[in-house]
Amino acid sequence: MPRTGTASMQAALQILGYNKTHHGFILVDQPLTSNAWEAAVNAKFSGAKPACSKETFDAFFEGYLATTDTPSAFFTEELLEFYPDAKFILVERNLTPWLKSFRVLMEGMFGPKGIFVLAIDRILGYASLRTYRKLYSAYFGANTAERIMMNAPRVYKEHYRRVRELVPKERLLNYELGSGWEPLCEFLGKEVPSVEFPWINETKALEAKMVSVMAARARELVWVLSWWFGGLGVAVAGVWVMMR
């Protein structure tokens, strides 16, 4: 589930040697991959089976040794089918603080900042935020932040129940947020590192990411518009010269 220490787990896995670990932020930072993810989301939640092929997922995770966060967290069935030797780490967080953190994510995604990014993405041809909005709307059965939050406690509990039901016990680690290195290293067969377990404040990380994404998209939009209008200016000047 998102907002359960996924950024911290990404950092921990990378310390343990999983040098490239996929995270939801990557979809925002690399928006050209978003169209393929959007197709997978559309297929999965329209009832198509499977949502997409193993080749598609191999392309999603090319070069990566592990994955955390969404969108992959909502594709448990596909990951189980396509990667039969993979291990699953189910990180659980107390419901009350999770809801508080999750609200920040939903308000950012469906609120003014999200609408700003969505509008620019449409001009640039990206589908990152649109894909995430579709994913969360489908998974939580609602299409606004408030309605998603109303369903969130039920969906949160159902998610953990279903993962525990689907994933074989020998491939699943039930990890409580804050448990440190020992259970994780034992499960993965790794030595306990000499450094402290990483802790990343996900609320602050999300807020910083939204600001950086808005700034990056705005810069890209300015470049695109300057290219468009620059080209238009050259074309107009050319016509004017020919008509003289």
Residue-wise pLDDT tens digits, 14-41? 999 998 999 888 877 777 788 889 989 9
Contact 151, 142 (CB under 8 A): yes
Question: Over the chain, what is the mean pLDDT?
Answer: 85
DSSP E strands in the chain: the ranges are 21-22, 66-67, 88-92, 172-176
Q: Is the pLDDT assigned to residue 47 strictly greater than 80?
A: no
Contact 6, 69 (CB under 8 A): yes
State how far the Cα of 30 lies from the Cα of 21, in Å rounded to an integer.
14
Please state, as a whole number, how many other Cβ atoms lie within 10 Å of the Cβ of residue 229: 10
State how far the Cα of 58 lies from the Cα of 137, in Å rounded to an integer.
25
Least confident window among 75-89, 119-133, 179-193, 223-237: 223-237
Residue 191's pLDDT band, with cuts at 50, 70 and 90, is: very high
pLDDT of 57: 93
Contact 193, 96 (CB under 8 A): no
Q: Comparing 206 with 78, which gets the higher pLDDT? A: 78
Domains of the chain: 6-243 (3.40.50.300)
